[in-house]
Amino acid sequence: MCLLLISLPILAVSGCRESAEALICDLEQQRGVLYSMMRDWYIFNDEPEQQAKYASFDINAFASTWDMLGALRWGPDRDNKWTYITTAAQDDALGAGDDFPTFGFWFDAPGDGTMLVQMVFERGPAQTAGLRRGDAVLAIDRRPIAAIEAAEGIAAALDFSALGTRRTFTVQPLGGVTTDIALTAAMVPLPTIVPEPASLTSPVILSSAAGDIGYLPFVLFVGTAPAQLDAVFAGFAAQSVRNLVVDLRYSPGGAVVVADHLAALLAGPANAGRIQEFVRFNAARSAYNQTIYFGALPEALELDRIIFITTGYTASAGEGIINALKADGVGIDVAVVGERTAGKAAGQIGLDFCDGYGRFRVLAVEFFNADNEGQFYDGLPVDCEASDDLTHELGDPAEASLAAAIAHIETGGCGVFAGRSMAPGEDTRRPRHDDEAQPWRRPRLLY
């Protein structure tokens, strides 16, 4: 899933409509405009390979605009499709965190003929029907997952974009009997804090040998998040929380303005006004470079330790926060447990075209922390490796990654959860990712 990744003014390019009577422009006919935008803003334009590509590039040599963009993308952007076209309306709704049609669950397809349910949205169709984390979906409308993957792909088979879309899922619960569950797509808010605590002002507090630990399971950096984060952090402050676990395992990113808000809450009053990160464009657009400072927020905590839980799907805004807080001058003990992150060290800007109907999300900026550390395109490493344990609910202290985080706070080490070996009784269907073979993994899909 691709989101608004940097909060900058949207630049308008007009004159794309073929006639004044056209209701919408044809995005497929805008190759010249998109090519020009790439030549101006693409973050990798300073690379010799990209410059050589422009020298002999023919925009008419491709069957579609998407194929043209695929040929233009370079490096880590090439496979992940971080540079893409959408509509302004869809992009604005996504950034705001508006309701969207969904079946209400998040999954991974490890390639073994199953879809593994990893997260279920609050008050969504899947939760109402009883779908749970750890369930394996074996078929959609009686078609085996393996057959779907070999044909049109899971996303196309789900086709949940229209409200009221209905699908029957053949589900094998952990330790249970295979059954069919019918789900109808409904409008559900984009998830931010999942699972939600009973009250945002009474967040999850875990007990440990090191005292109380706050737990923040955060997903999307969208417009609805800051107010929710403020309420949760006020609750942490009321409990005098000094140690915090921030669970970003399912966080693909979002708006930088929201990331800056969370960074300020985590960095605390002592770091307000310090350099958080440097934002850098390509050489031709270096006049737009800027320095971002940690903000001062009344709900910010004075923390001793922050443990981030990550996976290969933790990307973009979340990675930027981790990188910023790891700078030497911040003065907070920061550690990462779980799996190496996705490696999205750059962000997009939005360029409008077709009289404001279309929007081009072009990868245009890179982020560096106060120590000038950035370009982590092979992902951020972990201090302690641990699995995403689907046999336990998120927030359960016995879940492998959360247990590793608690152990690190208590002992400063990795405990019994270090390494990639599975814990006794853990679901052997858990997806594994080859960090060496896939240094840049695909952004997570949201369903």
Q: What is the pLDDT along the chain (447 residues), one digit of tens a residue?
A: 222 333 232 232 323 333 333 345 776 678 999 999 999 999 999 999 999 999 999 999 999 888 999 999 999 998 888 999 999 998 998 888 888 889 999 998 988 999 999 999 988 999 999 999 999 999 999 999 999 999 999 989 998 777 889 999 999 998 889 999 999 999 998 899 999 898 999 999 999 999 999 999 999 999 999 999 999 999 999 999 999 999 999 999 999 999 999 999 999 999 999 999 999 999 999 999 999 999 999 999 999 999 999 999 999 999 999 999 999 999 999 999 999 999 999 999 999 998 898 999 999 999 999 999 999 999 999 999 999 999 999 999 999 999 999 999 999 988 655 333 333 333 332 332 333 333 222 232 233
Q: Where in the chain is the domain with CATH 2.30.42.10?
A: 99-189
408/416 Cα distance (integer angstroms)? 10
pTM: 0.87
424/391 Cα distance (integer angstroms)? 11
231/234 Cα distance (integer angstroms)? 5
Quote the pLDDT of residue 116: 95
447/356 Cα distance (integer angstroms)? 27
361/190 Cα distance (integer angstroms)? 20
Quote the pLDDT of residue 100: 85
Q: Where in the chain is the domain with CATH 3.90.226.10?
A: 1-98+190-447
Contact 200, 168 (CB under 8 A): no
C-alpha angle 218/374/307, rounded to 5°? 35
Topology annotation, domain 99-189:
Pdz3 Domain (2.30.42)
Quote the pLDDT of residue 175: 83
Interacting residues of 152 by C-beta distance below 8 A, sequence separation 6+:
none
Quick check: helix, strand or coil at residue 100? Answer: strand
Residue with tokens 């973050």: 43
Four-way CATH pick for 1-98+190-447: 2.40.30.10, 3.10.110.10, 3.90.226.10, 3.20.20.100: 3.90.226.10
Residue with tokens 């985080």: 405
Quote the pLDDT of residue 30: 86
